[in-house]
Amino acid sequence: GAVVSQHPSWVICKSGTSVKIECRSLDFQATTMFWYRQFPKQSLMLMATSNEGSKATYEQGVEKDKFLINHASLTLSTLTVTSAHPEDSSFYICSATSGRAGYEQYFGPGTRLTVT
């Protein structure tokens, strides 16, 4: 149980284009989903928290207009990187939870974004 998927697993896009990443909870309903960013050999940095049906809460320093998050249902959240630039190249990981405790987050396999 508690499986989270992400699609695509790897995407290459040209500078200036937008790319959408999907995060799905496959066997449970996720009241909250989180989006993280991870640079090579660095830790996970929380970008935003999203609750189904409401606007995402972004961490300080994360551009809301650049990283659009939509949590349309209890099993799906999307992250759209708009007007991508090479510095947006990173590993994006989502997590989903239906509980309140930190250990109850279940992580997706991640999406590697390369912007050329």
Partner 1 sequence: QKEVEQDPGPLSVPEGAIVSLNCTYSNSAFQYFMWYRQYSRKGPELLMYTYSSGNKEDGRFTAQVDKSSKYISLFIRDSQPSDSATYLCAMSPPSGYNKLIFGAGTRLAVHP
Binding site residues, partner 1, CB under 8 A: 4, 6, 32, 34, 41-46, 49, 91, 93, 95, 97, 99-110, 112
Pick between residue 75 and residue 95 the one whose CB is nearest to partner 1.
95
Q: Longest Cα pair distance anywhere in the chain, in angstroms?
A: 39
Between CA 42 and CA 51 the distance in angstroms is: 27
Pick between residue 32 and residue 75 the one whose CB is nearest to partner 1.
32
The least distance separating partner 1 from the CB of residue 17, rounded to whole angstroms, comes to 23
- Please list, in sequence order, all residues whose beta carbon lies within 8 angstroms of the beta carbon of residue 36, skipping any fewer than 6 positions away: 44, 45, 46, 47, 92, 93, 94, 95
Question: 38: part of which helix (H) or strand (E)?
Answer: strand 32-38
Pick between residue 28 and residue 91 the one whose CB is nearest to partner 1.
91
The least distance separating partner 1 from the CB of residue 21, rounded to whole angstroms, comes to 13
Pick between residue 83 and residue 114 the one whose CB is nearest to partner 1.
114
Between CA 37 and CA 39 the distance in angstroms is: 7
